[in-house]
A and B are shown apart, each in its own frame.
Chain A
Amino acid sequence: MNKDAIAEYATRLGDDALVLGHRLSEWCSNGPFLEEDIATINTALDFIGRARMFLSYAAELEGAGRSEDDLAYTRDCREFKNLLIHELPRGDFAFTTVRQFLVDASNVLFFEALCESSDPQLAAIAAKSVKECRYHLRRSHDWLLRLGDGTEESRRRCQDALDDLWGYTDELFAMDALEQALLDAGVAVDRVALKERWLPLVSAAIDEATLQLPALPALPGGGREGIHTEHLGHLLAELQFVQRAYPGLQW
């Protein structure tokens, strides 16, 4: 398979992890209590670690002498390829919990499938990630139940978050020409097939949490083409500040 296509695929997956890891890291010292701060930082660390593995692999395949940091710190919005759901601002604890649940459920299925990739490096990253994702899902699933079936206020906050996020979930299961070609070569995951397993899993939990499955249409998406929400630019301004202010240095 063409190296450039795999590099692009790894970049997409790296950007997903980097951007959501960044959002999670914003919770540091802002969590509802100390134990939760520790757990959220832990999850953020998993995502940043995953981003590093994917981005350094992408840089290696590219063979242009760039590093994981060049990819993370010197690309502009239009070159970032993460799915939009990952870049939305952290919101309140309900928003973070619901997003995490929706994404964790999809990640478990995605990385289980990626373990079978014909690309050994991608399969290796997936094998490490899938263990983390299962743990993340257990946590976010438990939180969804507690908050959904907690108080009046916590249920309202969760339902609002679910409604705000729902339109972005379609993009998690969309294929384009690049991923289709990689799928045909045995490298990539069939996202369309994941949805059939994701939806019942998610619906059951939403139901158990006494929440309503939103009947809302999908939003346009566009992350894989670098068409983002307005939020990503601000995230990158912060993430890339030092490298932009002092370009080309070692830190």
Chain B
Amino acid sequence: MSQTETEQSKTEQSLEREFQARVDAEEKIEPKDWMPEAYRKTLIRQISQHAHSEVVGMQPEGNWITRAPSLRRKAVLLAKVQDEAGHGLYLYSAAETLGISREELLEALHQGKAKYSSIFNYPTLSWADIGAVGWLVDGAAIVNQVALQRTSFGPYARAMVRICKEESFHQRQGYEIMLALSRGSAAQKAMAQDALNRFWWPSLMMFGPNDDHSPNSAQSMKWKIKRKSNDQLRQEFIDQTVPQIEVLGLELPDPELRWNEERGHYDFGPIDWDEFFQVIKGNGPCNRQRLQHHIRAQREGEWVCEAVRAYENKKRGRKAA
């Protein structure tokens, strides 16, 4: 190693120590601050995955906008999906502060390199599914995101604060749909039960693999990108949701769900991780459909973007002349 290289790696080491000290002291890391390359990469992966989830999630919910059963429900669902699009936009901006463009992020999505939440690869088959998605999926997202409000990267933490407020609104609206159904006719109640049964397990999978199968978690916890482990967050979600199922008067979707006095938590049955990994690999019920939909919309919009560029160029040309 040459003299300068040694010095460089020394500086690198001391920078890294400084960085970790700041993280340990709960200081926020800002885009212009020095950060380890792996920290930057991890954040880009996580924030873009989050942004893609917001955007792809518009599809299963948008699936019911034109069929919402009342004008009030239609307006509320439209507003919710609009919020999700806004979250996507906000998160893409947060990712862009790390030196990557939205085009690159979308390209990675379309090539299947970037992921989005596995839950959106399940179909919304009935109106009750829209209730279940708001209640369970937004509910799970909140548990995750409340923890992320304290994440070490400033722009991401601030995005989470803003987004969480809207997510809890969504969660309440989803629950309200489920409440109306579970107090309605037998057919409505059955519809609610069916939606709960289908969305329960995929919602638990949203928190990711068990801690002992989550290879990147330890480093993310050390960097305080992640503040709680997958299993901790999953347990929190279960503990808060089971009493809500009881209020709805629906049957528990897992016969092994039982309060454990000793642990102070609900016990639950085994999660089908084979299913989870199949969905992650692209073999869920809707993976291809979701991706193709997003690619088609972008392709169909290309001429619009070209027109905008051409118009702006002409306008600039006219001004200069």
Assembly CA distance A148 to B260 (angstroms): 67
Q: How many A-B residue pairs have CB under 8 A?
A: 134
* Range for the number of chain B residues in contact with chain A: 35 or more
Whose C-beta in chain A lies nearest to the C-beta of B51?
A: A34
A103 to B120, CA, bound (A): 36
The yes or no answer to B59 lying at the interface (CB within 8 A) is yes
User: Given A42-B82, A249-B184, A29–B297 Cβ distance below 8 Å?
Assistant: yes
Contact A251:B69 (CB < 8 A) given known A34-B89, A52-B75: yes
Q: Chain B interface mostly helix, strand, loop or mixed?
A: helix
Residue of chain A at shortest CB distance from B290: A29
Contact A249 B185 (CB under 8 A): yes
A219 interface contact, C-beta 8 A: no
In Å, the complex CA distance between A182 and B304 comes to 43
A150-B310, A251-B127 given; A242·B301 CB < 8 A: no
Is there a chain B Cβ closer than 8 Å to A225's Cβ?
no
Interface string of B281-321 (1 = CB under 8 A from A): 00000000000011001101111111110110010000000
Q: What residues of chain B lie closer than 8 Å to A250, measured between beta carbons?
A: 180, 184
| A242:B308 contact, CB within 8 angstroms | no
Please, which residue of chain A has its CB at the minimum distance from the CB of B127?
A242
Is A157 in contact with B305, judged by CB distance below 8 angstroms? no
Interface segment among B2-10, B60-68, B107-115, B161-169: the answer is B60-68
Q: Are B81 and A41 in contact (CB under 8 A)?
A: yes
**Contact: B62 with A51, CB < 8 Å?**
no
A48 touches B75 (CB 8 A): yes
Q: Return A51 CB to nearest CB of chain B, in Å.
A: 7
Residue of chain B at shortest CB distance from A49? B75
Neighbouring A residues of B79 by C-beta, 8 Å:
41, 45
Task: Give the docked Cα–Cα distance between A25 and B69 (Å).
Answer: 15
Contacts A38-B85, A153-B303, A250-B180 given; does A29 touch B75 at CB 8 Å? no
B311 touches A29 (CB 8 A): no
Question: Measuring CB to CB, which residues of chain B are less than 8 angstroms from any residue of chain A?
Answer: 55, 58-59, 62, 65-75, 78-79, 81-82, 85-86, 88-89, 92, 127, 177, 180-181, 184-185, 187-188, 293-294, 297-298, 300-308, 310-311, 314
Q: Enumerate chain A interface residues (CB-CB to B < 8 A).
A: 18, 22, 25-26, 28-38, 41-42, 44-45, 48-49, 51-52, 55, 68-69, 72-73, 92-93, 145-147, 149-151, 153-154, 157, 238-239, 241-243, 246, 249-251
The 3 closest A-B pairs by CB, nearest first: A32-B301, A150-B307, A154-B307
In the complex, 27 of the A-B residue pairs with CB atoms within 8 angstroms, ordered by the A residue number, are A22-B66, A25-B74, A26-B65, A28-B58, A30-B297, A31-B297, A33-B304, A34-B85, A37-B85, A38-B89, A41-B79, A41-B85, A45-B79, A48-B75, A49-B75, A68-B71, A145-B311, A147-B304, A147-B307, A151-B303, A151-B307, A154-B306, A242-B67, A249-B185, A249-B188, A251-B70, A251-B180
